[in-house]
Chain A
Amino acid sequence: MTENDVVISCRNVWKVFGDRPERLAPRLTAQTTAEDLRATGQIAAVRDVSLDIRRGEMLVVMGLSGSGKSTLVRCLARLLNITAGAVTVEGRDIGRLTETELIDLRRRKMGMVFQSFGLLPHRTALENVAFPLEMRGQDRRSRIARAHEMLALVGLKGREGYFPRELSGGQQQRVGIARSLAVEPDIWFLDEPFSALDPLIRREMQDEFLRLKGMLAKTIVFITHDFDEALRLADRIVLMKDGAVEQIDTPERIVMAPATPYVAKFTQAVDRCRVIRAGAVAQPVQGPPPEGTALPGAETLHALARRIVGDSRPLIPVADARGGIAGVLDRQAALDLLLGPVA
């Protein structure tokens, strides 16, 4: 992992709310607890968070309400000024940017989707999507064309002239997504984009989101309080509690090796086979690789269950994305995971 691959980097970031929290900044260390702060009448929303977000990665920040995840993402976009620490975006400390530089960064590099959509009620869907382009001074014709294109991309062709209140929740969020993508940002923030939607629409929007994600290579920071959503979408998950990070890891590692009892509580009810991909549990090949067809490593064990049960080999080869052999899967171990250990 070279330095260039890191797009956003947080170092010991603190965000404290309260009366003149900047006085506290020098005294904030990893040992400072939320209780210490509460004693001084301050509330720590983000506590000593350090993490790196790599180019093209989909990082899901997961936590319950009040865990500081929405505050954290606002610190990354400098919608909030942090109390201590540093956030660098593509090597530049955004805390030191002037207002003009910051506006320029947002106009070119960043897009954001909001939980309650944040659409401007007095503008049509088209005008909402064109808004960021208008702000950066793009001429009328090209921004209208681009907005049409974006609305078609999210499946809202024919609704360009509608006002937000005339659209359903799912449609409004599609407008929000189209707007956030209109400037072709490299970094895409999504703050609980599907939480305000009902479960059926949420599922549909997640699929839509995965489709868009596949089409566009972007660095994505996705906030959610829904653990299943996190497992479904994430390359890596950041699990937060009380403003601090509990664990940063891939979905498999979170499920199989929870770092703290708090994380374990989330993973208990999860059906592991639906999370764990064959590639993640494959062991290195020792000796000659087994003959026969290999299992695709990117599929979950649940998806491969029929083939694993039907395969008679004790060690089943697993293919990587390029078609080479990544390792072998211990059939008995896989069956134990699928069906539970032998009683």
Chain B
Amino acid sequence: MKGRSLPEGGRVALALLMATLALVVLRNLLPDPLIRLPQTLILPFADWINAVFAFARDDLGLMRVTRAFSDVVEVCLDVTANLLYGKSRWPRLGPIPWVVIAASAAVAGHALAGWRLAALAGGTFIWIAVMGQWKWAMETLSVILVAAPFSVALGLALGMLAWHSRRAERVLNPILNIAQSLPHFAYMIPVVVFIGVGPKAGAIVTIIFSVPPMIRMTLLGLRAVPAEIIESGRMSGTTRLQLMTRVRLPAARTELLIGVNQVIMQSLAMVVLASFIGMPGLGQKLLQLLQALKIGLSVEIGITIVLLAIVLDRMSKAWAVRQPSHHDEGSGWLQRHRHLAVWAGLVGLGFALVTLHPYFAVVERAQALSMAGPVDAAVGAFIDMVSPVTDWLRWFLITWVLIPLRDGFLWLPVSAVLVFLAGIGWAVGGPRSALICLAFFLPIALSGWWDRAMITVYTVFVAVTLALLIGVPLGLLGAARPGRARRFLLICDTLQTFPSFIYLIPVVMLFGVNDVAVIAAVMVFATVPIIRYTIEGLRSIPPEIVESAQMSGAGPGQILWHVKLPLAVPTLMVGANQSIMFALFMVIIAAFIGTQDLGQEMQRALSSTDVGKGLVLGFAVAFMGLMADHLLLKWARGRGT
């Protein structure tokens, strides 16, 4: 492939790869500096970052700005906290009885997408209440309720700025690229420094984390407004402001609402993780329970988080795709506002129920239904049954696959890895790509975290390889029939809405706390995008091409190997790219069940609020992701056209 497309570049790439081989073979003869960079070359990035932060905080008075902003957020948080779980703050109305909230969710679900969503939304809140998780869930929701609007407003403003000025876009774009590949923890450390820990910090980190997709969707939406709609607005005599508020933004409605959907989902993922910085709620509970290996209870919390994720996702998506429709001539106010009327009625009914019995206001701990006992027993029985298999699997994998591979990655000389990456870069995109690869990876070597980074690389490598081995066949299976493809895609969609934290529950259950569990969690999480993009790649092949192959007398196997797979490869690469990104994120999150990679160090940085170290580690992860992104997308693009 390399030789054919780029004869000249191909030769350079080949030379670089041969050099890699030589470096690996001759490793034991190499001088030490080629194996690991000498201490003198390690640059104190962390100290530099800390100096910048100290300057910003102490001399620029940034602290006061962030404090002011966080005070505003805190006021909003107090309001939602009072309303949802009765924290004694202004306006001192709450807590709203759970029946009222469940009824409201059901009516909203019906208004947006009919009975099924109504049942799902109402049922979710009933489940939460009946299972006795109300307070935790409301702590989580109260933060999302504040963070999401802030993110949307911020994203909208920045997106409009980027749309308005090319220069702003040019500044924002690389920042967004890095921001979207920084692992969650990297956001938390600066926030802890500036804001502290607790719900307020949780809300702020959630806001920052979920802004990027809104910026991108705003930009995309504003760009996609048809020229004629804008011209018709201008010919109607709009001023610039009128054109923006009455024509451009409403016409970009769908994209903007998809942005809102992404903000909400990102918020949920982050709020759950923010338990690491003292954010109370479902995430914290889950963290505690997982650490105590209380599987039954953590499954219950996991189900709640999953249900909330699905409800929030379906509702916001339904809102995005909803098209306005007219009311019949002469229909009355009640007919036009049927949902409002039903909602008011149900709210009244809810409050009436509360006066009958306090159960409908708050479900006490003692009244909560919990299946934790039976679930624990069932899980225990299941584990006993499969443990010979899993124990053996664990032993086998750790002894014969994982440890040798990890040692192998650690054994590789720095020089060999860098030359190898330059060679791959050259093969894919010529000297420019080779330089980009080096620019992303050399700083990791210079940062002094090479060994940790190699462990991360090894984990991701193993997990994504396994994900490909599992995901591609599953994707092929899924794409075989259109109906099945739709079902598979729906499942993948749903799985992707789950906060990554959730994936840890089953693997901890099966494998306990060790390397295999980490790899398994990362692999499961990384398989989803592979299945998804395999199916989409196969589905997007024009039927005429398949028909022409059939008419050429190709059998089903030949069509798959010679026609479908080659055409699906570019899309599959996008899937692999996303898979690597997901894997990197997951590896870092999985740190708390015991890894020795960058994630572990990042958690240490978090607990010692070391901004410099945390950000250096975060950038190391982001750079790995961005390099993989560059290589895979460049290659896919080269193949695609």
Give complex CA distance A179, B471 in Å.
Answer: 54
Name the segment of A15-23, A129-137, A215-223 touching the other chain.
A129-137
The B-contacting residues of A in range 134-163, CB under 8 angstroms, are 135-136, 158, 161-163
Give complex CA distance A58, B229 in Å.
Answer: 25
Q: Does A270 contact B (CB under 8 A)?
A: no
Q: Are B228 and A117 in contact (CB under 8 A)?
A: yes
Q: Are B231 and A79 in contact (CB under 8 A)?
A: yes
B-chain residues with CB within 8 Å of residue A131 when the two chains form the complex: 233, 236, 246
Q: Are A106 and B228 in contact (CB under 8 A)?
A: no
Q: Are A136 and B237 in contact (CB under 8 A)?
A: yes
Give complex CA distance A74, B240 in Å.
Answer: 18
Name the segment of B196-204, B285-293, B319-327 touching the other chain.
B319-327
**Contacts A165-B323, A166-B326: A122 and B253 contacting too (C-beta < 8 A)?**
yes
Q: Are A162 and B237 in contact (CB under 8 A)?
A: no
Give complex CA distance A112, B235 in Å.
Answer: 7
Q: Are B237 and A106 in contact (CB under 8 A)?
A: yes
Q: Are B237 and A135 in contact (CB under 8 A)?
A: yes
Q: Does A118 contact B (CB under 8 A)?
A: yes
**Contacts A114-B232, A116-B226, A117-B228: A122 and B237 contacting too (C-beta < 8 A)?**
no
Q: Does A9 contact B (CB under 8 A)?
A: no
The A-contacting residues of B in range 121-178, CB under 8 angstroms, are none
User: In the complex, how many angstroms separate the beta carbon of B129 from the nearest chain A beta carbon?
Assistant: 37
Q: Does B494 contact A (CB under 8 A)?
A: no
Q: Are B250 and A106 in contact (CB under 8 A)?
A: no
**Contacts A103-B239, A161-B327, A166-B325: A79 and B228 contacting too (C-beta < 8 A)?**
no
User: In the complex, how many angstroms separate the beta carbon of A64 from the nearest chain B beta carbon?
Assistant: 20
**Contacts A120-B247, A135-B242: A106 and B234 contacting too (C-beta < 8 A)?**
yes
Q: Does A10 contact B (CB under 8 A)?
A: no
Q: Are A106 and B253 in contact (CB under 8 A)?
A: no
Q: Does B251 contact A (CB under 8 A)?
A: yes
Q: Are A122 and B250 in contact (CB under 8 A)?
A: yes
Q: Does B329 contact A (CB under 8 A)?
A: yes
B-chain residues with CB within 8 Å of residue A166 when the two chains form the complex: 325-326
Give complex CA distance A106, B238 in Å.
Answer: 9
Give complex CA distance A158, B229 in Å.
Answer: 24
List the B residue with the shortest CB-CB distance to A125.
B326
Q: Are A132 and B228 in contact (CB under 8 A)?
A: no
Give complex CA distance A22, B325 in Å.
Answer: 46
Give complex CA distance A336, B420 in Å.
Answer: 85
Q: Does A49 contact B (CB under 8 A)?
A: no
Q: Are A107 and B228 in contact (CB under 8 A)?
A: no
A-chain residues with CB within 8 Å of residue B326 when the two chains form the complex: 124, 161-163, 166
Q: Are B229 and A107 in contact (CB under 8 A)?
A: no
Q: Are A111 and B251 in contact (CB under 8 A)?
A: no
Q: Does A121 contact B (CB under 8 A)?
A: yes
**Contacts A116-B226, A118-B231: A103 and B238 contacting too (C-beta < 8 A)?**
yes
A-chain residues with CB within 8 Å of residue B239 when the two chains form the complex: 99, 103, 135
Q: Does A119 contact B (CB under 8 A)?
A: yes
User: In the complex, how many angstroms separate the beta carbon of A121 from the nearest chain B beta carbon?
Assistant: 6
Q: Are B232 and A118 in contact (CB under 8 A)?
A: yes
A-chain residues with CB within 8 Å of residue B327 when the two chains form the complex: 161
List the B residue with the shortest CB-CB distance to A162.
B326
List the A residue with the shortest CB-CB distance to B250.
A122
A-chain residues with CB within 8 Å of residue B232 when the two chains form the complex: 112, 114, 118-120, 176, 179
Q: Does A7 contact B (CB under 8 A)?
A: no
User: In the complex, how many angstroms separate the beta carbon of A151 from the nearest chain B beta carbon?
Assistant: 13
B-chain residues with CB within 8 Å of residue A36 when the two chains form the complex: none
The A-contacting residues of B in range 226-274, CB under 8 angstroms, are 226, 228-229, 231-240, 242, 246-247, 250-251, 253
List the B residue with the shortest CB-CB distance to A164.
B324
Contact residue range for chain A? Answer: 35 or more
Q: Does A77 contact B (CB under 8 A)?
A: yes
Q: Are A79 and B251 in contact (CB under 8 A)?
A: no
The A-contacting residues of B in range 312-344, CB under 8 angstroms, are 323-327, 329
A-chain residues with CB within 8 Å of residue B324 when the two chains form the complex: 122, 124, 163
Q: Are A112 and B325 in contact (CB under 8 A)?
A: no
A-chain residues with CB within 8 Å of residue B323 when the two chains form the complex: 163, 165
Give complex CA distance A271, B242 in Å.
Answer: 49
Q: Does A110 contact B (CB under 8 A)?
A: yes
Give complex CA distance A163, B240 in Å.
Answer: 25
Q: Does A115 contact B (CB under 8 A)?
A: yes
A-chain residues with CB within 8 Å of residue B233 when the two chains form the complex: 120, 131
Q: Does A104 contact B (CB under 8 A)?
A: yes
Contact with B along A77-93 (1 / 0, CB 8 A): 10100000000000000
Q: Are A132 and B253 in contact (CB under 8 A)?
A: no
Give complex CA distance A32, B253 in Å.
Answer: 45
User: In the complex, how many angstroms separate the beta carbon of A324 from the nearest chain B beta carbon?
Assistant: 42
Q: Are B236 and A158 in contact (CB under 8 A)?
A: no
User: In the complex, how many angstroms separate the beta carbon of B441 from the nearest chain A beta carbon?
Assistant: 37
A-chain residues with CB within 8 Å of residue B236 when the two chains form the complex: 106-107, 131-132, 135, 179
- Which of A103, A110, A176 has the most chain B CB within a 10 Å cutoff? A103
Give complex CA distance A163, B234 in Å.
Answer: 21
Give complex CA distance A131, B245 in Å.
Answer: 13
List the A residue with the shortest CB-CB distance to B232.
A118
Which residue in A74, A120, A123 is a CB contact (below 8 Å) of B231? A74
B-chain residues with CB within 8 Å of residue A122 when the two chains form the complex: 250-251, 253, 324
Give complex CA distance A189, B231 in Å.
Answer: 12
Q: Are A112 and B231 in contact (CB under 8 A)?
A: yes
A-chain residues with CB within 8 Å of residue B234 when the two chains form the complex: 79, 106
User: In the complex, how many angstroms separate the beta carbon of A77 from the nearest chain B beta carbon?
Assistant: 6
Q: Are A103 and B237 in contact (CB under 8 A)?
A: yes
User: In the complex, how many angstroms separate the beta carbon of B52 from the nearest chain A beta carbon?
Assistant: 39
Give complex CA distance A114, B229 in Å.
Answer: 9
Give complex CA distance A122, B221 in Å.
Answer: 15
Give complex CA distance A176, B247 in Å.
Answer: 15
Give complex CA distance A228, B238 in Å.
Answer: 35
Contact with A along B193-235 (1 / 0, CB 8 A): 0000000000000000000000000000000001011011111
User: In the complex, how many angstroms separate the beta carbon of B248 from the nearest chain A beta carbon?
Assistant: 10
Give complex CA distance A315, B228 in Å.
Answer: 53
Contact with B along A322-335 (1 / 0, CB 8 A): 00000000000000
Q: Are A120 and B325 in contact (CB under 8 A)?
A: no
Give complex CA distance A121, B235 in Å.
Answer: 17
Give complex CA distance A136, B239 in Å.
Answer: 10
List the A residue with the shortest CB-CB distance to B253.
A122
User: In the complex, how many angstroms separate the beta carbon of A108 from the nearest chain B beta carbon?
Assistant: 8
**Contacts A118-B226, A162-B326: A110 and B253 contacting too (C-beta < 8 A)?**
no
**Contacts A103-B238, A107-B237, A179-B236: A161 and B329 contacting too (C-beta < 8 A)?**
yes
Give complex CA distance A124, B323 in Å.
Answer: 12
Give complex CA distance A176, B231 in Å.
Answer: 12
Q: Are A132 and B237 in contact (CB under 8 A)?
A: yes
Give complex CA distance A131, B226 in Å.
Answer: 18
A-chain residues with CB within 8 Å of residue B251 when the two chains form the complex: 120-122
**Contacts A106-B234, A106-B237: A118 and B228 contacting too (C-beta < 8 A)?**
yes
List the B residue with the shortest CB-CB distance to A137.
B237
Q: Are A106 and B242 in contact (CB under 8 A)?
A: no
Contact with A along B458-470 (1 / 0, CB 8 A): 0000000000000
B-chain residues with CB within 8 Å of residue A79 when the two chains form the complex: 231, 234-235
User: In the complex, how many angstroms separate the beta carbon of A115 from the nearest chain B beta carbon?
Assistant: 7
Q: Are A111 and B235 in contact (CB under 8 A)?
A: yes
List the B residue with the shortest CB-CB distance to A104.
B237
**Contacts A161-B327, A163-B326: A116 and B228 contacting too (C-beta < 8 A)?**
yes
For the complex of A and B, list the 10 residue pairs with the smallest distance between their C-beta atoms, beginning with the closest: A118-B232, A107-B237, A132-B236, A118-B228, A161-B326, A112-B235, A106-B237, A122-B250, A114-B228, A162-B326
* Interface of A toward B, CB cutoff 8 Å: 74, 77, 79, 99, 103-104, 106-107, 110-112, 114-124, 131-132, 135-136, 158, 161-163, 165-166, 176, 179-180, 183, 189
8 A-B pairs within 8 Å (CB atoms) are namely: A103-B239, A114-B228, A114-B231, A118-B231, A119-B229, A121-B229, A163-B325, A179-B232
A106-B236, A122-B324, A135-B236 known; 9 new pairs, CB 8 Å cut-off, are A79-B235, A103-B237, A112-B231, A116-B228, A120-B229, A136-B237, A161-B326, A165-B323, A183-B237
